[in-house]
Amino acid sequence: MSVCIVFHSETGNTRTVAERLAPLVGGDLIEVTDLAHYSKISRYIGGGRRAMKGESATIEPATIDVTACDTVVVGTPVWAGNPTPAINAAIEALVGIEGKSTVVFCTSGGMPGKTLETVTAMLAGRGADVRGAVPFTARDVQKGEGVEALADLILRAKRGFDASAEPSR
Ligand SMILES: Cc1cc2nc3c(=O)[nH]c(=O)nc-3n(C[C@H](O)[C@H](O)[C@H](O)COP(=O)(O)O)c2cc1C
């Protein structure tokens, strides 16, 4: 059983973390695309406002089935102190997330606001068992820092799942 890394990224930072993480945890990448296809300006004006209101985007894929994953990782950029509309939609689109060990991360310019708390609460509302949440700054991403610590957290969450899946003697 694998680790599924569900992420959204418009300018590459969140994708970079997800791609560095995947080989460390044996993860499969599931990239979510916002079909609004923002320009730089519309991303700040339209996207930022939608994020602030907690709105959900129209995304591709429209359904994200994690039934076959034992651990789910969700990565979001921070927009106006919030998760992106694409990640709000991705959390709604998850199938099979109930009871699943989950870890969250975000990338930001350094002011993540309540992004991690919001994503954690949304996932808990879907029945996920959220084990941890890690913020990255764009500077961390440039320097390649913090991914090993996130991988350790995910592998510990995964081992917890494996142990609980073992038959009792
Ligand atoms: C619309 C918009 C709003 C943003 N709001 C914030 C913010 O509130 N705090 C912050 O630290 N960075 C903010 N940023 C910077 C991004 O969070 C940061 O560049 C992030 O790493 C982008 O992820 P990506 O490259 O995966 O798309 C914002 C960027 C955009 C486009």
With a cut of 70, which residues of the chain have pLDDT below it? 1, 161-169
pTM: predicted TM-score of the whole model, two decimal places: 0.95
CA of 108 to the centre of ligand 1 (A): 5
Say what the pLDDT of residue 165 is.
Answer: 58
CA of 9 to the centre of ligand 1 (A): 10
Kindly list the distances between the CA atom of residue 158 and the CA atoms of 85, 93, 102, 118, in Å, as whole numbers in the listed order.
28, 22, 9, 23
Say what the pLDDT of residue 55 is.
Answer: 98
Instruction: Determine the Cα–Cα distance for residues 98 and 12; give it in Å rounded to an integer.
Output: 29
Pairing of β 2-8 and β 69-79: parallel
Whether 56 and 85 have beta carbons less than 8 Å apart is answered as yes
Kindly list the distances between the CA atom of residue 80 and the CA atoms of 54, 64, 149, 166, in Å, as whole numbers in the listed order.
10, 25, 26, 43
Whether 79 and 9 have beta carbons less than 8 Å apart is answered as no
User: Is the torsion defined by CA of 37, 40, 45, 47 positive or negative?
Assistant: positive
Q: What is the pLDDT of residues 123-147, one digit of tens each?
A: 999 999 999 999 999 999 999 999 9
Say what the pLDDT of residue 159 is.
Answer: 83
CA of 152 to the centre of ligand 1 (A): 25
Question: Could you tell me if the CB of 9 is within 6 A of ligand 1?
Answer: yes
Instruction: Record the tokens describing residue 55, joined without a space.
Output: 């709105």
Domains annotated for the chain, with CATH where assigned, are 2-161 (3.40.50.360)
Question: Could you tell me if the CB of 71 is within 6 A of ligand 1?
Answer: no
Instruction: Determine the Cα–Cα distance for residues 3 and 143; give it in Å rounded to an integer.
Output: 25
* Ligand 1 atom closest to residue 9's alpha carbon, by position in its atom list: 26
Q: What is the pLDDT of residues 141-163, one digit of tens each?
A: 999 999 999 999 999 988 875 66
* Nearest CA among 99, 90, 140, 96 for reference residue 119: 90
* Nearest CA among 135, 32, 124 for reference residue 84: 32
